[in-house]
Chain A
Amino acid sequence: MKGNIIKYARDNIDTDVIIPGQYLKIHDYAELATHAMEGLDPDFHSKVKEGDFILSGKNFGCGSSREHAPIALSHSGVKAVLALSFARIFYRNAVDGAFLLPIEIDQDAYDGISEGDEIEIDISQNEVKNNTKHQTYKMKPFSEIIGKIIEVGGLFKYKPDSD
């Protein structure tokens, strides 16, 4: 999976800036997506492209349990968020609906990857490759069940007895 980076070099990006409260009444995901990241970066919607990745610091997605947060990012075209750490409800919501990949990276990757870099995520090798800078970083492996849920496309497609 390949994409270009939109970097927010800060910790604690919360769900209220990912999708502000006034938009939680919107049921149409395409419309919801037009307000993604509006609380932090009003230009996000015009600059995000299909397949982009977000890179950020610690505790990404802290706050509310609104699944609208990964949905808004996903329907904006974002396929993965790379962060130093994730708030657990955001992480879970991202996986449950297979909306996007929450990739936990280390400080070297965080420091080394810049805005616009082309990144390749290789889940089978647990690697994040920076094609722009020709560097490779390790990502934290998904636990077995999370890997399977992502593979089948979400919680409701996952059958524990299937293996």
Chain B
Amino acid sequence: MGDTLFEKVWKSHVVVEQESGPSLIYIDRHLVHEVTSPQAFDGLRMNNRKVRRPDLTIATMDHNVPTNDRSLPILDQTSSIQIQTLEKNCNDFGITLFDINSPNQGIVHVIGPQLGITLPGSTIVCGDSHTSTHGAFGALALGIGTSDVEHVLASQTMWLEKPKTFEIKVDGKIKNPHAVTAKDIVLSIIKNIGTGGGTGTVIEYRGQGISDLSMEQRMTICNMSIEAGARAGMIAPDEKTFDYLRDRKYTPKNYESLVEIWRDSLKTDNDAKFEKEFTLDINDIAPQVSWGTNPGMTCDVTESIPTPDDFSNGDDNQKKGAQKALDYMDLKSGTPVEEIKIDRVFIGSCTNARLEDLIEASKVIKGQKISSHVKAMVVPGSQMVKKQAEEMGLDKIFIESNFEWREAGCSMCLGMNPDILSPGERCASTSNRNFEGRQGTGGRTHLVSPVMAAAAAIAGHFVDVRKLDLN
């Protein structure tokens, strides 16, 4: 029996294998940010340890940086301390840092691929659950907590129980790829398999529906693997992958010879078996809108808010959860999704703040103003994305429509910087989590694609973007 892509990457990184229990895995790249690293560096100091491979460790600041004028001081003192702490730690331990004023600063999962740090067949970790994003390049990319961050800093390895393999096959072809996007595919998957559907597995996304996607769209898919509970998500690299990584800042000098090796080796063998399987047909899928308080609580834009009974399939906890979610979201079962009015629009996050996301969203709003009762913002995923977008004039399109055009960072995805919802505010958001309070205490999040968010900003409520002329 052959091996899956995951098994090949796993086998090539095992340092110590035990008969039962976890293996020690070598880590090729370690991405570091300001929130989950301070205690890890403190731990190194306390034990008089060094960073084993500072050359394989790269840091940036993204989670709590303000996204307004970068020439202004950071008003929140605790954020400011956390940012200064990262600067000191990188300085003390010899780690490259893209700080708040660097042209390479940005959300860690946006800059990794953009800089060519993310490579096919490599192992990547970061103290952030959305590290799964990098799997779009055929890397095994794992989100870890602070103890593991310290372990990797000290040893460049981590203990890991071998996850199970999960094939998610995406069949078919989307009829209008400007209106139905990678975000709608991944939300459809999570709606079907549930937020625990991928627990303990590494997902490999396969099929025509995946190979048709651009690299940026594939990143959106892998990014949300964690929302299905998976350890990681992967996509086998192809020519699109190799083209994307060519001539980036950190692309290896022997890149073409590496590509030759990757092209032959980094794919699942025909006779390999997955331990779990799921197939999604995307021929007729609709744009998705989440209505509840986890990403599995999602429906088509053409549907109405479900009843807890309809949602739960007889599971009592699911039913209770759905009722609590409806109460929190202040929604009534039976309300058509297109009638839900919104207060805020957030286009940003490691899920959907790359150049293509901004291009597609700008097409929806060009020449129009956002609804008078809506506040809307665009937060590019990195300073590089921002610069590229500005060179294309996208900033002007957004600003003329009354969107705010911000500096790069995690921003309103997670409510730990100045960009937050007020209690009760309802937001169409291109981010990844609609948990209670995620975007600010009492805030109500609906997860959507960038084009759906842009269309909602103009209309003031959700609309089916397939009805718009986007070509």
Interface residues of A (CB under 8 A from B): 9-12, 14, 16-17, 20-22, 24-27, 39-40, 57-59, 62-67, 85, 87-89, 92-93, 96-97, 143-145, 154-156, 160
Q: Given that A10-B324, A57-B317, A143-B20 are known contacts, is A155 also in contact with B151, CB under 8 Å in the complex?
A: yes
> CA–CA, A107 to B78, complex, Å?
43
A12 and B195 within 8 A (CB): yes
A132 to nearest B CB, angstroms? 22
> CA–CA, A59 to B198, complex, Å?
11
**B92: CB under 8 A from chain A?**
no
Kindly list chain B residues whose C-beta atoms are within 8 Å of the C-beta of A39.
435-437, 441
B60 to nearest A CB, angstroms? 16
Closest to A94 in B: B145
B199 and A66 within 8 A (CB): no
B276 to nearest A CB, angstroms? 15
**B196: CB under 8 A from chain A?**
yes
B435 and A65 within 8 A (CB): no
B147 and A59 within 8 A (CB): no
> CA–CA, A9 to B318, complex, Å?
10
B229 and A62 within 8 A (CB): yes
Instruction: From the candidates B63, B229, B231, name the one contacting A59 in the complex (CB within 8 A).
Output: B229
Instruction: From the candidates B129, B159, B437, name the one contacting A65 in the complex (CB within 8 A).
Output: B129
B435 and A10 within 8 A (CB): no
> CA–CA, A12 to B197, complex, Å?
12
**B21: CB under 8 A from chain A?**
yes
A21 and B199 within 8 A (CB): no
Q: Given that A10-B324, A24-B63, A62-B196 are known contacts, is A143 also in contact with B161, CB under 8 Å in the complex?
A: yes
Q: Given that A87-B229, A89-B129 are known contacts, is A67 also in contact with B147, CB under 8 Å in the complex?
A: yes
B412 to nearest A CB, angstroms? 10
A87 and B437 within 8 A (CB): no
Closest to B125 in A: A65
Kindly list chain A residues whose C-beta atoms are within 8 Å of the C-beta of B22.
145
Centre residue among B24, B324, B433 by max chain A CB count within 10 A: B433
> CA–CA, A20 to B416, complex, Å?
8
Kindly list chain A residues whose C-beta atoms are within 8 Å of the C-beta of B145.
65-67, 89, 92-93, 96-97
Instruction: From the candidates A10, A27, A58, A145, name the one contacting B196 in the complex (CB within 8 A).
Output: A58
**B128: CB under 8 A from chain A?**
yes
> CA–CA, A12 to B324, complex, Å?
12
Instruction: From the candidates B18, B21, B82, B433, name the one contacting A63 in the complex (CB within 8 A).
Output: B433
Q: Given that A40-B436, A92-B145 are known contacts, is A9 also in contact with B317, CB under 8 Å in the complex?
A: yes
Q: A24-B63, A39-B437 are in contact. List 8 more A-B contacts (CB 8 A).
A: A10-B321, A12-B196, A17-B437, A64-B414, A87-B196, A96-B145, A143-B161, A160-B16
A79 to nearest B CB, angstroms? 18
A107 to nearest B CB, angstroms? 10
What interface size band does chain B fall in? 35 or more
B199 and A16 within 8 A (CB): no
B416 and A88 within 8 A (CB): no
A63 and B196 within 8 A (CB): no
Closest to B437 in A: A39
Kindly list chain A residues whose C-beta atoms are within 8 Å of the C-beta of B96.
none
Q: Given that A39-B437, A96-B148 are known contacts, is A144 also in contact with B21, CB under 8 Å in the complex?
A: yes
Kindly list chain B residues whose C-beta atoms are within 8 Å of the C-beta of A88.
199-200, 229, 231
A13 to nearest B CB, angstroms? 10
A63 and B435 within 8 A (CB): yes
Kindly list chain B residues whose C-beta atoms are within 8 Å of the C-beta of A17.
435-437
Kindly list chain A residues whose C-beta atoms are within 8 Å of the C-beta of B76.
25
**B320: CB under 8 A from chain A?**
yes
Kindly list chain B residues whose C-beta atoms are within 8 Å of the C-beta of A12.
195-196, 294, 321
Kindly list chain A residues whose C-beta atoms are within 8 Å of the C-beta of B318.
11
> CA–CA, A94 to B315, complex, Å?
28
Q: Given that A22-B416, A67-B36, A85-B199 are known contacts, is A92 also in contact with B148, CB under 8 Å in the complex?
A: yes
Instruction: From the candidates B127, B159, B229, B433, name the one contacting A16 in the complex (CB within 8 A).
Output: B433
> CA–CA, A34 to B72, complex, Å?
32
Interface string of B114-148 (1 = CB under 8 A from A): 00000000000001110100000000000111111
A21 and B414 within 8 A (CB): yes
Interface string of B362-381 (1 = CB under 8 A from A): 00000000000000000000
B418 to nearest A CB, angstroms? 10
Instruction: From the candidates A14, A21, A26, A57, name the one contacting B294 in the complex (CB within 8 A).
Output: A14
> CA–CA, A85 to B143, complex, Å?
19
